[in-house]
Structure 1
Amino acid sequence: MPLHVAFTDQDALRARCNFATTRTVSGVPAFEDGAVVPSGQWQPLSDAAAQALTAPPLTSPITLVEIVRPPAPTGENLEDLTQQMGDGQAKYLGQALAKPDMLTSTDNYQDGRLIGLHLDNWDKLNYGQKATGRRRLALNLGPGTRYILLGALDAQAVCRAVHPEDYAYRYPSTDDYRAHVAAGHPIRCVRIRLAPGEGYIAPTEYLLHDGSTEGQDQPSAMAFWLGRWPRGTLPSLI
């Protein structure tokens, strides 16, 4: 399934969303060689592009992106929010701080280089199971605004394109996306703005993604949970 976003107000979606194509980087010290990043030529979301993001009525919540307002933390222990989020079994993953004006925000903990747009692999799913993983819930703790970046082509489609002979036996990965884009097949990247107190629920095992503070002059911390939320569990912002 391609990128689908749950929304009822197209104007609200377009007000916080734009898109660009992607490219790979090489020889840039801050990034891993081959990392996939937005081209930087951000465009407004047209009516047609917004319609393309519309989730069909029977779209599984497992592959759906929701832009939401999670409950506000009242203390220091963010794990306590789990019971208020609609999945008491959700796992708190911790926080990540992004400095101001970062094109992408996730680094390789081994050497500190940015990995660019990527797939998560918490559930370690093969090709046939890749669309069944848990979704990630994220809450922007501020102080700055940030973005969620999402690739419009899903992991199974990219795996089939890169490994046409044996895709059914593969484990779709970030490297598949890197090979696909490097071969001259740029993927559309959608950028959605998140103010402090706002968040998303997204299938980060299934869609290319990362955080960004591009153009922002304040850092931003994000808290993350992994779980299974029915559609509409948290109030939608769009």
Structure 2
Amino acid sequence: MPLHIAYGDPSALRARCEIATVRTTRPEETAYEPGALIPAGQWRPMTGVDVKAVTAPRRPLDSTLVEIVRPPYREGLPLEALADPLGDPDSVYLGQALAKAGMATTTDNYEDGRLIGLHLDNWDKLPYAGKHTGRRRICLNLGPGVRYIILGAIDAQAVCRAVHPDYHADRYPHTQDYRDYVASGRPIRIVRIRLARGEGYVAPTEYLLHDGSTEAQDRPAAAAFWLGHWPRGILPSLI
């Protein structure tokens, strides 16, 4: 299933979102891994066509849905316990990450420090046939600056099928599949969603190309993350 965003007010969605495409990094962009994917060119406002493209079906699969939310956090409360009341006793607190100001993408490879660009998570280690059933990630922007989540519009199963025509149910979709997809000349549209301090998202980062960003921001932004199986609407929507 492609990128689907839950919303009640299309104007509120459009106010937060911008559209672009991706490109492969060039050899001289040594801060990144070779072949990494990053946003290409200028971000543009969302149109009515763009809104329609990300509108979820009437009965969406919760595990593949993106929600823009306000997590229940107050200064001084332990972050580890934030997800405890949300209904998944097996949810996991993943910790925090700090992004410097002005980063087009934020995630690095802990082994060598190079940025990995837009990527696919694999916490659940799910093969092709079950990739759409993975846990969703909750993110809370702790600030002080604005942070973005960038999401690809095409899902991991569709990319896997395109790159591996002889795919089988136990193949494991991977970030490299997306890199190969773009390297073969096929475009990927991406959506950037703005998150102020105290705001966050619930998103299937096991299923959609993604990364954080602080591009064009002059302050750093820390974020906290959790993984779990949560139904739609478990947190109050901002849109």
Give TM-score, length-normalised by structure 1: 0.97
What's the secondary structure of 1:178's corresponding residue?
helix
In 1, Cα distance between equivalents of 2:89 and 2:189: 35
Secondary structure of 1:237's aligned partner: coil
Question: What is the identity, as a one-letter code, of the residue corresponding to 1:236?
Answer: S
Task: Report the equivalent of 2:53.
Answer: 52
Show the counterpart of 2:40.
39
Q: Aligned ranges for residues 136-147 of structure 1 at < 5 Å?
A: 136-147=137-148
* Amino acid of the structure 2 residue aligned with 1:150: L
Give the corresponding residue for 1:229: 230
Please give the per-residue CA displacement for 1:113-166, whole angstroms capped at 9, x wherever unaligned.
Answer: 100000000000000010010000000000000100000000000000000013
Secondary structure of residue in 2 paired with 1:33: strand
- Once structures 1 and 2 are overlaid, which stretch shifts more, 29-38 or 162-171? 162-171
Query: How far 1:52 sits from its partner (Å)?
Result: 0.9
Q: CA deviation at 1:83?
A: 2.0
Q: Equivalent residues in 2 for 1:49-88 (5 A)?
A: 49-75=50-76, 77-88=78-89
Displacement of 1:167 in angstroms is 4.1
Question: Aligned pairs, how many?
Answer: 238
Distance 2:118 2:105 in 1: 7
Aligned counterpart, 1:203 = 204
Does structure 1 retain, via aligned residues, the 8 Å contact 2:150–2:211?
Answer: yes
Distance 1:118 1:216 in 2: 22
Structure 1 residue 88: deviation in Å? 3.5
Q: RMSD over aligned Cα, in angstroms?
A: 1.0
CA distances 1:159-210 after superposition (whole Å, capped 9, x unpaired): 0000001343310000000000011112001000000000000000000000
Unaligned runs of 5+ in 2: none
1:70/1:85 contact within 8 Å kept: no
Instruction: Tell whether the 8 Å contact from 1:95 to 1:221 is kept in structure 2 after alignment.
Output: yes
Given that 2:160 and 2:167 are in contact with CA atoms closer than 8 Å, whether structure 1 keeps it comes out as no
Question: Of Structure 1 and Structure 2, which has the larger fraction of its residues in strand?
Answer: 2
Match of 2:34, SS? coil
> Are the counterparts in 1 of residues 107 and 211 from structure 2 also a CA contact under 8 Å?
yes
The residue correspondences of 1:86-235 to structure 2 (distance < 5 A) are 86-235=87-236
How far does residue 82 in structure 1 lie from its aligned partner after superposition? 2.0
Deviations 1:26-59 (A, max 9, x none): 3111100100111031111001110111000111
